[in-house]
Amino acid sequence: MSPTAVHGLWTTAADPLDRIPAPHIEYAQLAPTLIVVGAAVIGVLVEAFVPRRARYLTQVFLAFAALASAFAAVVALAGAGYASGKAQIAAMGAIAVDGPALFLQGTVLLASVVAVFTFAERRLDPAAHGNRVDSFAAQAASVPGSESEQAAVKAGFTTTEVFPLALFAIGGMLIFPAANDLLTLFVALEVLSLPLYLLCALARRQRLMSQEAAVKYFLLGAFSSAFLLFGIALLYGYAGSVSYAAIADVVDGTVARMDPALAATMGNDALLLIGGALVLMGLLFKVGAVPFHMWTPDVYQGAPTPVTGFMAAATKVAAFGALLRLLYVVLPGMRWDWRPVMWGVAILTMLAGAVIAVTQTDVKRLLAYSSIAHAGFILAGVIATSKDGVSSVLFYLGAYSFVTIGAFAVVTLVRDAGGEATHLSKWAGLGRRSPLTAAVFAVFLLAFAGIPLTSGFAGKFAVFKAAAEGGAGALVVVGVISSAIAAFFYIRVIVLMFFSEPKPDGPTVAVPSFLTTTTIAVGVAVTVALGLFPQYFLDLAGSASTFVR
Amino acid sequence: MGFPLLTLTAVVPAAGAVLTAAVPAARRTAAKWLALLVSLATLALAVLVAVRFEPGGARYQLTESHWWIKDFGVRYALGVDGIGVALIVLTALLVPFVIAAGWHDADPLETASKRWRPTQGFFALILAVEAMVIISFEATDVFLFYIFFEAMLIPMYFLIGGFGDRAHSGSDENAAAQRSYAAVKFLLYNLVGGLIMLAAVIGLYVVAGNFSLVEIADARAAGKLDMATNTERLLFLGFFFAFAVKAPLWPLHTWLPNAMGEATAPVAVLITAVVDKVGTFAMLRFCLGLFPEASKWATPVILVLALISIVYGALLAVGQRDIKRLVAYASISHFGFIVLGIFAMTSQGQSGATLYMVNHGLSTAALMLVAGFLISRRGSRLIADYGGVQKVAPVLAGTFLIGGLATLSLPGLAPFVSEFLVLVGTFARYPVVGIVATFGIVLAALYTLVLYQRTMTGPVKEEVSGMPDLRLRELLVVAPLIVLLIGLGVYPKPLTEIVNPAVEHTLSDVKQKDPAPEVEAAK
């Protein structure tokens, strides 16, 4: 053994011949992440140096250009074969460039593009002092309810720091599903979480609620990060390495090489089990699975609605990507240990999400619980531990994120004097007053409910099929039952919109600019297209479903 | 692969639905005519299907097959057997009548906003339902069938909940609440049934590896399909549950009276005469075709449920005070007969059941549409509010009587043939069941004739005295139905010729032969 072997972290490059100690970075393969993070840094500079008047356009253009070119880079990488034959591990073993990573990065980027459109929307709130304002706080630093805040609102201040914040979060989300060692995983988690905590606190209206949501999210998120970190430490003690491949080798028992410094702990199953469980907990928190879901409804309700949509879609995609890689690359050797636990989590998540959603009276909370139920459905696909399982989860995530962003974009449109009218009773008779908006929302609800001919059905069928083939028939039955419960509350909203008489003081539907219109139109188009012709995307997900190790 | 005739019969109404929905708010009448023309074009195509279909030919004809979702093993595979042809023609035949009868049902109120376009929506939804029903009669791929079996709930739901019967008792608000209750009940019952079927559909894929009816049947015949007895039974139950909700069979029937009572009469016809037929049709094609052994295993229980439906439905029909709910319970009784015929597993029983589906569609349409005309005149659904109508509106009363007599299966009218076949077919194998089922006929005579007596005969009630007789539009709706009822009653041969070979195929699926007639051997 060479002396460098003591530090396992530095010696696990993909290619065993490549033992050059200087860091070797494959810039081309990491281009999507680098572009987005680079644009985020430039965005911060824009905040500092570009005159206030020009900032909005600069930031929107910068964000859009960065996301679009990052997506182009993802497509180019996939086209060059990195999703299949040329899949490799880059950046000294830290980042995997393979099918699932590229597919999920592409999904995150596309979802982010449409989400950023809703961030940039400035026509929904009434203009103040001739300034069109967006959904974000006029002056984040001012205390809610204070005079300085009132002055800022009256003056129609707008801020543009949400764009670099979002870009940083997206950068983290791009690394999260591709992280190939536990430290990178942790860093990516923090990079994506910290900007999100801030974004949650930036609502223009109901700022106290928004800040409460952010604090809750931050505290619970910090807890889960701590668990994750502790789990990482234990796993390092178990395997003598934080690299996925090295840990997997120890789990499989293919490596008998004992690290002298860790002779007392290496290969100790107690460390593996506890460490694995703690890391899983950290990821299940981000996914919003029961019993780590408590933050979801409060944060979804309090955060500015465009942020909620972004978070619900993109974070979920990234977190499920990380979960998949952890379970399929690091821990496949102990699937007989984690599968029963994940069974329990999936069943609890599906049932709890669906049952609690029935009693909700706020649209955003309703969608929050529905997102919990959906996390349960996706977990059913994760548990399948097969290639079909991976591809079904990939497909489901793609389908689900566009439905979610579209649905939250519709929520931003329905307004009364106090801003967005999210209480369900106010939605009564919306179908009479604004048939098109209500019909579009109904399409999203039907997709959530998994009615055939929508993307929701194709996704649900894919994960349930994978689960059934993996021998989880009972899980499918529970999934079907909770789908039936969930259908009840989706339909209740449709009843409310179409079959109730509109109230005289009910909300109106604001006329959005092309930005939100585009978001909603893309959402509907993807929902219908994936429902009618899912084959192409299933193929894509299928061809992208092999992890590199 | 020839001309995609089957696809066209579904695409025409689907495209018609989109076009109708797109008609501007002010051109309501144009939307109506467009919908009617589209439904007539669909009828022409359906007749063409029937003409091109060769009764003695292959089991599935006019087939089309393309990969749709290869990952799931799903094909866009269409094909019709005789049963499918009969039901497609029935559907395409009834929809123009439904549209014509509902001509004014969805006119917007004077107070409604200018952008609210209920009329366009109403007719577009009817055409959408038609398209989905037709494609589910044509699908030879289980998944394809399932998609449309479930998807048709959505337009149906909006038809029930969005366009209620304007004749009601009580305030508008109360009526809206009842209507939305009925629509939600309809949707939840059927959705739960459908989701349980989804679990079974996935299970079928895991066992069989594909969804093609033909391939699964071939694999079974070649002994390549390894389906454990218990698996087959569970899958059968999953499928049957969904179809029993749709059909509806006791005790899963309770959504039907609500839905039919609250919907407008034409929509009620659409529910019971068209959409519900998908349930009984699917029992024949999917339950028996895919799970023959389990079907035989479950037969005793299903026969008992069918008997309960027959007697219970008829008894409750006798006790109804609401005309439309009466027809709904009568339908439950009739669906009991259809299920009885299917699971008697004799050729007479099954061809009787298929004829029953067609004839029940015609007779219920006639009775319900005339009832709808009657109700729209008086503004009440309660039987007690009528009396002596035959003196003021003799044509209306006469057509109502013929519809009623068809419902009670009077000899000479079409339903008699089918009911007789079902009973004969059942008696051949299960004499006791056959005898109990006959009570259903006696009760049918009771509820129809009492209904006629209370509403049409007796002294003319004051509110009824100014009632106009059938208008030309209404007469044009009812007359062809009555002609068909009489025609198929006297000469059912064209129908039986198409249906019988298909029934033989289904019976050979379950490996059943008609029991040989028992003859005392001469000593």
A206: left (phi over 0), alpha (psi -120 to 50) or beta: left
Whose tokens are 């069943």? That residue is A347
> Any residues with CB less than 8 A from the CB of A428 and at least 6 apart, and which?
A496, A497, A500, A501, A502, A503, A506
Question: H-type helices in A120-267, by residue range?
Answer: 147-155, 162-175, 182-200, 207-239, 244-252
B47: left (phi over 0), alpha (psi -120 to 50) or beta: alpha
Q: How far apart are CA A214 and CA A208, in angstroms?
A: 10
Query: pLDDT tens digit string along A123-159?
Result: 887 777 777 888 888 787 888 888 888 888 888 788 8
pLDDT above 70: residue A471: yes
Contact B180 A464 (CB under 8 A): no
Q: How far apart are CA B436 and CA B504, in angstroms?
A: 26
Contact A480 B198 (CB under 8 A): yes
Contact A138, A149 (CB under 8 A): yes
The helix (run of H) or strand (run of E) holding residue A509 is strand A508-509
Contact B346, B514 (CB under 8 A): yes
B404: left (phi over 0), alpha (psi -120 to 50) or beta: alpha
Question: What number is the average pLDDT over the span A411-435?
Answer: 84
Q: Phi and psi (nearest 5°) for A132?
A: -75, 135
- B465 — pLDDT class (breaks 50, 70, 90): confident
What is the structure's pLDDT at A375? 94
What is the structure's pLDDT at A5? 45
Domain count, chain A: 1
Q: Which of B69, B188, B203 sits opposite A473 (nearest CB)?
A: B203
Burial class (CB within 10 angstroms; exposed 0-12, middle 13-18, buried 19+) of B387: buried
Which pTM does this prediction carry?
0.88
In a domain, B516, yes or no: no
Q: How far apart are CA B150 and CA A480, in angstroms?
A: 14
What is the structure's pLDDT at B244? 92
Question: What number is the average pLDDT over the span A273-283?
Answer: 92
In a domain, B517, yes or no: no
Of A380-384, B64-68, B296-300, minimum mean pLDDT range: B64-68
Query: pLDDT tens digit string along B187-228?
Result: 888 988 888 898 888 888 888 888 888 888 888 878 777 778
Question: H-type helices in B71-171, by residue range?
Answer: 82-101, 118-138, 142-151, 153-162
What is the structure's pLDDT at A171? 95
pLDDT above 90 covers what percent of chain A? 46
- A198 — pLDDT class (breaks 50, 70, 90): very high
pLDDT above 50: residue B169: no
3-class SS at A80?
Answer: coil
3-class SS at A128?
Answer: strand
Q: How far apart are CA B422 and CA B350, in angstroms?
A: 7
Q: Which amino acid is at B231?
A: T
Q: Which residues pair with A95 in a beta bridge?
A: A90, A179
Query: pLDDT tens digit string along A73-118?
Result: 999 999 888 888 788 888 788 899 888 999 999 999 999 999 999 9
Q: Phi and psi (nearest 5°) for A254?
A: -80, -15
Structural domain boundaries, residue A347: 3-543
> Any residues with CB less than 8 A from the CB of B317 and at least 6 apart, and which?
B326, B327, B329, B330, B333, B443, B444, B447
Q: CA-CA-CA-CA torsion for A182, A184, A189, A191, nearest 10 degrees?
A: 160
Q: Which of B116, B180, B196 sits opposite A495 (nearest CB)?
A: B180
Query: pLDDT tens digit string along B280-311?
Result: 999 888 888 888 888 888 889 999 999 999 99
pLDDT above 90: residue B117: no
In a domain, B515, yes or no: no
3-class SS at A451?
Answer: coil
Contact B202 A491 (CB under 8 A): no
Is the ipTM higher than 0.90? The answer is: no
Q: Phi and psi (nearest 5°) for B382?
A: -80, 135
Contact B309, B257 (CB under 8 A): no
- DSSP secondary structure code for residue A313 in this structure: I
Q: How far apart are CA A456 and CA A448, in angstroms?
A: 6
What is the structure's pLDDT at A1? 41
What is the structure's pLDDT at A16? 55
pLDDT above 70: residue A203: yes
- B108: closest chain A residue by CA: A432
Query: pLDDT tens digit string along B80-114?
Result: 888 888 899 999 999 998 888 888 777 766 655 55
**What is the SS3 assignment for B216-279?**
HHHHHHCCCCCCCHHHHHHHHHHHHHHHHHHCCCCCCCCHHHHHHHHECHHHHHHHHHHHHHHH
pLDDT above 80: residue A14: no
What is the structure's pLDDT at A11? 47
Contact A501 B176 (CB under 8 A): yes
Q: Residues of B numbered 130-189 whose beta carbons fall under 8 angstroms of chain A's beta carbons: which are they?
A: 146-148, 150-151, 153-154, 157-158, 161-162, 173, 176, 179-180, 183-184, 187-188
Of A417 and B20, the one with more pLDDT: B20
What is the structure's pLDDT at B131? 92
pLDDT above 90: residue B3: no
> Any residues with CB less than 8 A from the CB of A510 and at least 6 apart, and which?
A123, A124, A413, A414, A415
Query: pLDDT tens digit string along A211-262?
Result: 999 999 999 999 999 999 999 999 998 888 888 888 888 888 776 666 677 7
pLDDT above 80: residue A266: no
Contact A490, A448 (CB under 8 A): yes
Nearest Cα neighbor of B375 from B363, B388, B385 is B385
Q: List the structure tokens of A78.
A: 């996939």
Determine the distance in angstroms separating the CA of B147 from the nearest CA of chain A, rounded to an integer: 5
| Contact pairs from chain A to chain B, CB under 8 Å | 97
In a domain, A548, yes or no: no
**Chain A positions in Cβ-Cβ contact with residue B70 (cut-off 8 Å):** 535, 538-539
Q: Which amino acid is at A307?
A: V
Instruction: Please state the separation of Cα B387 from the chain's center in Å.
Output: 30
Query: pLDDT tens digit string along B302-336?
Result: 999 999 999 999 999 888 888 888 889 999 999 99
B396: left (phi over 0), alpha (psi -120 to 50) or beta: alpha
Residue B116 near chain A (CB below 8 Å): yes
**Chain A positions in Cβ-Cβ contact with residue B113 (cut-off 8 Å):** 432-433
- How far are the Cα atoms of A75, A84, A86, B291 from residue A81, in angstroms, in the given order? 10, 5, 5, 45
Contact B199, B236 (CB under 8 A): no
Structural domain boundaries, residue B197: 5-108+115-509
Q: At what angle do helices A316-325 and A387-413 cross, to 10 degrees?
A: 170
Q: List the structure tokens of A318.
A: 């990234």
Nearest Cα neighbor of B407 from B447, B462, B465 is B447
In a domain, A161, yes or no: yes
Query: pLDDT tens digit string along B393-405?
Result: 888 888 888 888 8
Tallying the residues shown for chain B, one arrives at 523
Q: Which residues pair with B164 in a beta bridge?
A: B263
Q: List the structure tokens of B473.
A: 């539009």
Contact B184 A492 (CB under 8 A): yes
pLDDT above 90 covers what percent of chain B? 11
Q: Which of A451, A476, A491 sits opposite B202 (nearest CB)?
A: A476
- A410 — pLDDT class (breaks 50, 70, 90): very high
Whose tokens are 């199953």? That residue is A269
In degrees, rounded to 5, the angle at the alpha carbon of residue A135 between the alpha carbons of residues A134 and A139 is 85
Torsion sign across C-alpha atoms A170, A171, A174, A180: negative
For chain B, the first-to-last Cα distance in angstroms comes to 59
Contact A517, A406 (CB under 8 A): no
Burial class (CB within 10 angstroms; exposed 0-12, middle 13-18, buried 19+) of B360: buried
Question: What number is the average pLDDT over the span A319-329?
Answer: 92
Nearest Cα neighbor of B88 from B354, B407, B371, B464 is B354
Q: List the structure tokens of A310.
A: 């972004």
What is the structure's pLDDT at B305? 92
Whose tokens are 């467009």? That residue is B34
Q: Which of B68, B115, B151 sits opposite A451 (nearest CB)?
A: B151
What is the structure's pLDDT at A233? 93
Residue B129 near chain A (CB below 8 Å): no
What is the structure's pLDDT at B293? 84
Contact B115 A435 (CB under 8 A): yes
